[in-house]
Amino acid sequence: MRTFILISAILICSFAPRPCNAQATAQTTKNLDTIYANETKNVALFFPEPIRQGITGSDNFVFTYNREKEQYFGLLQAKPGKESNLLVVNRNGSIFSYIVRYKKQLSKLNYFIPISSSIGNEKPKVKDSIQTETLEKNVDYGEYYYEKFCSYLLDRKQHIGRIKKQKESIILSVENVVFDKSALYFVIQIENNSTLDYDLNFLKLSVETRQKGKRKSLQRLYQEPLFKYNLPSKIVENETVRFVYVMPKFSLSNDRRAILELNEKDGERNIELKISHKYINNPN
């Protein structure tokens, strides 16, 4: 009889809505965030550690991730139906839980999940809340997010329009301009269709202002990138390279435009690509 009572107590403690440890009890007061998805677009979730397991509570939601090689992101899709939930466990045991809902029109396609969003760990530990908060504030996830999101953009086949210029078999083009988290991501491509290697001296993005009046003049203001991803130093003959420039968010009036300057080291195959304000002001 005592054994039965003991087993019952353990089961109640394990599966009851109110967890038995102090850490989990505090977490029950935290409202779960809602993530929206549909059947036509992939909603990407980037986590601070590689995903070990991801589960949805209903068949009309599908969360895919690399089960063979642990990666930092997963993709969520949904079919019309009732709301459900998504549970994700990272490699380090951190647990993340969200409400998921179907929405025909999506306003957000990428979610960058901070470690502070974790609802707990598979192996709960009693931590000093002040110390934990201090450590989290000292962690900079900027470059981590830039790197993961840039990699995600290079895997996509999305194009914003026909923005390209060619000189002596060297083609410079901007495939996409994406806005996310107060930054503009420029997906850039360089094609070397010549028989000579192309040594890159610099690639600069500037804002050009066309002055009005009798004496028309142009003024350029160089924009410093926040992050450069996969920028090559050389493009060998018959090679195509793709990379990403992350810029602070900016917008342009009708009398301004962006200029992408490609400059060859010890050569003259230099290209200036003009980017209209409409692409900057209306990114993907």
Higher-scoring residue by pLDDT: 36, 161: 36
Per-residue pLDDT at 209 exceeds 90: no
157 pLDDT more than 90: no
275, two tokens: 């980017």
Asked if the model's pLDDT at residue 41 lies above 50, the reply is yes
What single string gives the DSSP state of each residue in the chain?
Answer: -HHHHHHHHHHHHHHSSS-SSHHHHHHTTSPPPEEEE-SSSPEEEE-SS-EEEEEESSTTEEEE--SSS--SEEEEEE-SS--EEEEEEETTSEEEEEEEEE-SS-S--EEE--GGG--EESS-----HHHHHHHHHH---HHHHHHHHHHHHHH-----S--EEEETTEEEEEEEEEEETTEEEEEEEEEE-SSS-EEEEEEEEEEEEE--SSS--EEEEEE--SEEES--SEE-TTEEEEEEEEEE-----TTEEEEEEEEETTS---EEEEE-HHHHHS--
Report pLDDT for 124: 61
Domain CATH code at residue 164: 2.60.40.1150
Residue, of 214 and 241, whose pLDDT is higher: 241
In terms of residue numbers, what domain contains 74?
Answer: 15-139
Query: Average pLDDT for residues 2-6, to the nearest whole number?
Result: 40
> pLDDT for 54-77, tens place per residue?
999 888 999 998 887 888 999 999
Same domain, 135 and 175: no
pLDDT at 217: 60
Using a 10 angstrom Cβ sphere, with 0-12 exposed, 13-18 middle and 19 or more buried, the burial of residue 86 is buried
Q: Which of the residue ranges 27-41, 44-58, 203-217, 236-250 would you say has the lowest mean pLDDT?
A: 203-217
Question: pLDDT digits over 79-96, tens only?
Answer: 999 999 999 999 888 999
Higher per-residue confidence, 9 vs 203: 203
CATH number at 51 reads 2.60.40
Q: Are residues 135 and 164 in the same domain?
A: no
Q: Is residue 24 in some structural domain?
A: yes
Please tell me the total count of domains within the chain: 2
Q: Does residue 20 fall inside a structural domain?
A: yes
Percent of the chain past pLDDT 90, that is, above it, reads 52
pLDDT per residue over 128-147, tens digit each?
444 444 444 444 447 888 88
Q: Per residue in 95-120, pLDDT tens? A: 999 999 999 999 999 999 988 888 88
Judged against a pLDDT cut of 70, whether residue 159 lies above it is answered with: yes
> Which of 90, 108, 139 is the C-terminal boundary of a domain?
139
Q: Is the predicted pLDDT of residue 3 greater than 60, yes or no?
A: no
